[in-house]
Structure 1
């Protein structure tokens, strides 16, 4: 009996010592990895924001072929969620709790284990850099009291997985950016019409950023004033000085009627009906220069039409990164004004 009592006391002492030891440990962890992605911040954000894209680069798919994924009704933005099951690793779920586009995503991941659910906070931080986008992937949490000693090993356990994930994400995104097609669709008669717009002059290398800001401004006006748009956003190029690196352009949305915009920076314009050479770019906006070069080459190759210097070229964004996360699926229509060429019949006959 005394022997059992001594064993009990020994076990009690061990438990107390273990509890004291665990109390001295920091059970928190915050594992962070960063990679420079050579792509625009909005492109990186939009691809990352949609859980359905994760199947293309998730590092866990390399080691577990039994993963089966089920998506919620919403797969991107705040409230987006998905769950998974696995014959090897078990199941789990993930949810996006907060979005600060295009700078940050905050998510929660929960692993279902025999000992209960284990959750961690996941965060993504995107910073615009000269080279592209600095993408940071962080996973943090607090280990249960009894397993605090495992917190120190999370760096070794999660770090390599994050590094591989960022590598695969980068490779997958670069493949998408390189997939594009450019097709000349011939001569079209564009009907024109009223549109709401804002204009600016800027350096060519600052044009993309200005376009985003201007599109957002017109969209905000349209939304707040319940204006019915009749088409997609577009850019009209008034001047493009390649030698001095400057441009003047307008960004707008087509509307069905003339709208009075007193007290606003948003103006109403009217585009006359005209004849244009139309070119379609399917792919990321980084391929726009190649599309414009091909469009201009096509115009120069025409025999019955020539470039109309009195007109203004424009491009229409059929869809956009907010509703088309895959850059390879973006559609841009390019319109270059042309006019019929008068053929001298006498010179032909001679």
Structure 2
């Protein structure tokens, strides 16, 4: 079966012991899990002893599937090893570790996953670093925020599939790598706001981003950042462009 190894790291302004205590306590996982944030109603069961060898964290949900993770080795404050078992949507097993080490005035934590795919999913082997890596990056950011501030402020609110009327977006089209998206989109929205004001257009609609290209392999995207206009929006001049969105159903 095709094997994979995915890992991501971050720096946390805290001692290795603080990082170890949080990451090894399954009672904290629902707060910083990069998967559970998309389905808060998922059922989670944690063993009474949440931070010892043999402790388990089990989950069941429509979006997150079903599985469990178990501590197999705890070596404070530097190492955590776990057995990860996926039951749904398909059965799979992986080894998960956290390497925790002093770094400057804080701690470097590296989250690893070692596993293999079922034979019928061989075609996904080359994409696992991207898929899992993005989840790990999000999870480590949430873990960092939890440890440094005591809470995770980011939130995802999935309301389901709803009808969306036709509309037109007027904005600035741009492209960037994934790691530049915050700065790039901030600049694009500022350009759009300035151009809309200069061309005397209404800016009463919602601010939106439309992704034309989302390249997971090369970690690049192309998007339009702008504002919703009436369906019959007036003509615009550079650097603005229009994107017409037909009536459709959308996941909100």
Give the corresponding residue for 1:171: 145
TM-fit CA distance, 1:34: 0.3
2:11 maps to 1:36? yes
Quote the Cα distance in structure 1 between the aligned partners of 2:121 and 2:16. Answer: 39
Match of 1:99 among 58, 63, 74: 74
Check whether the contact 2:35–2:64 (CA below 8 A) recurs between aligned residues.
no
2:54 maps to 1:75? no
Quote the Cα distance in structure 2 between the aligned partners of 1:161 and 1:53. Answer: 17
Q: How is 1:57-68 mapped onto 2 (pairs within 5 angstroms)? A: 57-68=32-43
Tell me how large the CA RMSD over aligned residues is: 1.7
TM-fit CA distance, 1:113: 2.3
TM-fit CA distance, 1:114: 5.0
Match of 1:48 among 16, 23, 31: 23
Match of 1:124 among 89, 92, 98: 98
Could you say if the C-alpha distance between residues 138 and 91 of structure 1 is closer, same or farther in structure 2, counting changes exceeding 3 Å? Answer: same
Higher relative contact order (CA 8 A, sep 6+): 2
Give the corresponding residue for 1:111: 86
Quote the Cα distance in structure 1 between the aligned partners of 2:98 and 2:17. Answer: 13
Check whether the contact 1:66–1:87 (CA below 8 A) recurs between aligned residues.
no
Match of 1:158 among 113, 118, 132: 132
2:111 maps to 1:137? yes
Quote the Cα distance in structure 1 between the aligned partners of 2:143 and 2:64. Answer: 22
Quote the Cα distance in structure 2 between the aligned partners of 1:33 and 1:92. Answer: 22
TM-fit CA distance, 1:140: 1.2
TM-fit CA distance, 1:109: 1.1
Quote the Cα distance in structure 1 between the aligned partners of 2:87 and 2:34. Answer: 19
Quote the Cα distance in structure 2 between the aligned partners of 1:51 and 1:126. Answer: 17
Quote the Cα distance in structure 2 between the aligned partners of 1:30 and 1:49. Answer: 21
TM-fit CA distance, 1:80: 1.0
Check whether the contact 2:74–2:81 (CA below 8 A) recurs between aligned residues.
yes
Bigger share in strand: 2
TM-score normalised per structure 2: 0.57
Quote the Cα distance in structure 2 between the aligned partners of 1:102 and 1:114. Answer: 34
Per-residue deviation, residues 221-243 of structure 1 (Å, max 9, x unmatched): xxxxxxxxxxxxxxxxxxxxxxx
Check whether the contact 1:110–1:118 (CA below 8 A) recurs between aligned residues.
yes
Quote the Cα distance in structure 1 between the aligned partners of 2:95 and 2:2. Answer: 14
2:2 maps to 1:27? yes
Q: Which runs of 5+ in 1 are unaligned?
A: 1-25, 178-350
TM-fit CA distance, 1:33: 0.2
Quote the Cα distance in structure 2 between the aligned partners of 1:114 and 1:174. Answer: 35
TM-fit CA distance, 1:166: 0.4
SS in 1 for 2:147: helix
Quote the Cα distance in structure 2 between the aligned partners of 1:114 and 1:60. Answer: 14
TM-fit CA distance, 1:108: 1.1
TM-fit CA distance, 1:69: 0.4
TM-score normalised per structure 1: 0.41
